[in-house]
Amino acid sequence: MALGATAPASAAYPEKPVRLVVGFSAGGTTDVTARILSKELTEALGEAVIVENKPGAGSNIATDYVKRAKPDGYTLLMVAVTSTINQTLYKNVSFDLNTDFEPVALAVRVPNILVVNPNVPVKSVKELIDYAKANPGKLNFASSGSGTSIHMAGELFKMLADVDVMHIPYKGSSPAVTDLLGGQVDFMFDNMPSAWPHVEAGKLRALAVTTEARAENAPDLPTMQESGFPTFDVSSWFGVIAPKGTPADVVEKLNAAIRTALKKDDVKARLADLGAVPADTTPAEFGQFIKSEVQSWATVVKASGATVD
């Protein structure tokens, strides 16, 4: 080798275990998705990809941690829609998703569904709006916490439908659904995996799915767009990002491994159990997606008046 010439630092990547950091506790959809991916990446890359949970501050602790990590491809973040909301929801965040990270790949999207307690006398989105307008201030909607995609979907509905309904935040989806089942709250935009079993059991009534396309496991359920809201396209989503400056060949290798994994039948089947739809994006496409999500949620956060110190 000529004097001064060196091989790229990433040429043999990976040469040691890779950490995939999750900003939420074990057991949630973000964590489960990360563990499905980590198993596939371990096989594809030939080195262990280890999920590391760093919950707190709506995933901001984990996001800041990965931002400060060495940009060598050995510390990655399982980023979720929550982070794009947090960018403007929190008064002071220590990161900028658009400039402090290298997008790797969007992994999956999980539809939310609008569900109501059966005691609410409505069977469609239009009927819910009409009922809310006829009874201003009477209805309330639950969420898994202030600033979550579930909360912001409700705020978007409130803004677009111009209805007077009250937000009731909970510490997680489970207690929110419990009170929705009990009638303490009236409706909710919940993640499909946690709400759909109650719909099938007749304990909740589904009015619409929040994604642009109908859900494969609920083909008869209309979308919010079909229900009169042409711009309504909301989902929980999860992807992988790396610290800014991570070598491009490392990013491309990870992107290729993720996209290949998401096309495997057994992986698609496991994700389907979560109500998740696999994605297929280049790093650049995922970067544009993140940018658009930050911009879209900033509008909703501003309109809702929601803020976290």
User: What whole-number distance in Å separates Cα of residue 158 and Cα of residue 63?
Assistant: 29
Check if the beta carbon of residue 110 is closer than 8 Å to that of residue 51. Answer: no
User: What whole-number distance in Å separates Cα of residue 44 and Cα of residue 42?
Assistant: 6
The answer to whether residue 118 scores a pLDDT higher than 50 is: yes
Give percent of the chain above pLDDT 90. 72
Q: Please give the residue that has the higher pLDDT: either 209 or 7.
A: 209
The answer to whether residue 6 scores a pLDDT higher than 80 is: no
Name residue 84's amino acid.
T
The answer to whether residue 198 scores a pLDDT higher than 80 is: yes
Q: Please give the residue that has the higher pLDDT: either 214 or 105.
A: 105
pLDDT value of residue 11:
66
User: What whole-number distance in Å separates Cα of residue 245 and Cα of residue 73?
Assistant: 9
User: Cis omega (within 30 of 0) on the bond before 193?
Assistant: no
Q: What is the mean pLDDT of residues 188-198?
A: 89
The answer to whether residue 10 scores a pLDDT higher than 70 is: no
**Tens digit of each residue's pLDDT (9 = 90 or more) over 92-117:** 899 999 999 999 999 999 889 999 99
pLDDT value of residue 115:
98
Check if the beta carbon of residue 139 is closer than 8 Å to that of residue 187. Answer: yes
Mean pLDDT estimate for the chain: 92
For 174, list phi and psi in degrees, rounded to 5.
-60, -50
pLDDT value of residue 170:
86
Planar angle of CA 269, 84, 179, nearest 5 degrees: 65
For residue 194, what is the DSSP state?
Answer: H
**Residue in the block written with tokens 């994605």:** 279
* Residue 276, number of CB atoms within 10 A of its CB: 27
pLDDT value of residue 216:
81
Q: What is the mean pLDDT of residues 28-43?
A: 93
Q: What is the mean pLDDT of residues 161-180?
A: 92
User: What whole-number distance in Å separates Cα of residue 235 and Cα of residue 266?
Assistant: 23
**Tens digit of each residue's pLDDT (9 = 90 or more) over 53-90:** 998 888 999 999 999 999 999 999 999 999 999 999 99
The answer to whether residue 3 scores a pLDDT higher than 60 is: no
User: What whole-number distance in Å separates Cα of residue 270 and Cα of residue 82?
Assistant: 23
Q: What is the mean pLDDT of residues 4-26?
A: 77
pLDDT value of residue 2:
37
The answer to whether residue 9 scores a pLDDT higher than 70 is: no
Q: What is the mean pLDDT of residues 22-42?
A: 91
Q: What is the mean pLDDT of residues 252-259?
A: 98
